Amino acid sequence: MEKKLAELVREEVTRQAALGRRVRLMFQDEARFGRISDPRRCWCPAPTRPEGARQIVREYTYVFGAVSPHDGVLDTLVLPEVNAHTMSLFLAEVGRRHPDEFLLMVIDGAGWHQARALEVPEHLRLFFLPPYSPQLNPCEQVWDELREKDFPNLVFHSMDSLEDHLEGALLNLENERERVRSFTGFDWIVRISLSAT
């Protein structure tokens, strides 16, 4: 995987340099967030035992995310479902946010990533991860960070309150590039040069 991706990036950097464009390497994934609470350990003074609310409501929304491990740029979009149409909306949004760069996006093999109905912007190319290898995708770290720091021991009384909280947490992460880079900048990825020289 590492060698193939490095070769692909090198070829694309050379090709795009001739057109006067930079290449941005991104890793994409989706995550489901819902009203089922996420109980976690928490601290309180001894001998007090902490109490936390708990609920199981099967209502969900989805976050599409793409991260650039080299500089910590994170692009996210909250959508009600995952399918080829919503994936196309997300790819169009990422393309709109980076109009002057060529985007090389690494994704997994989900069905909607390979659907014929998927619309990919012309300045974006998809590269597929090997099957059953989520550990290679640094975007998974974004979801872990979000769940650990922003969602433990919370109960949401409506989908609107969940989505408001989720959007605020995502916006904070998008604005903290150095923090995002610190947990997504896998060595084997940041060693890949994005420069034409």
Q: Kindly report, residue by residue over 22-35, the tens digit of the pLDDT.
A: 999 999 999 999 87
125 found inside a domain: yes
User: Residue 44 is part of a domain; what is its CATH number?
Assistant: 3.30.420.10
27 found inside a domain: yes
Question: 90 near 118, Cβ under 8 Å?
Answer: no
Residue 63 tokens read as 């976050």
178 found inside a domain: yes
69 found inside a domain: yes
195 found inside a domain: no
* Mean pLDDT, residues 79-83: 96
Say whether pLDDT at 65 is over 80: yes
164 found inside a domain: yes
Q: How many domains does the chain have?
A: 1
pTM score: 0.90
Work out the end-to-end distance of the chain between its first and last CA atoms, rounded to an integer number of angstroms.
23
Say whether pLDDT at 37 is over 70: no
Please state whether beta strands 60-68 and 73-79 pair in parallel, antiparallel, or not at all (unpaired). Answer: antiparallel
Question: 77 near 93, Cβ under 8 Å?
Answer: yes
Query: Which residue range(s) make up the domain with 70?
Result: 2-190
Nearest CA among 69, 79, 75, 80 for reference residue 96: 75
Query: In 3-state terms, what secondary structure has residue 23?
Result: strand
111 found inside a domain: yes
181 found inside a domain: yes
Share of the chain above pLDDT 90, in %: 75
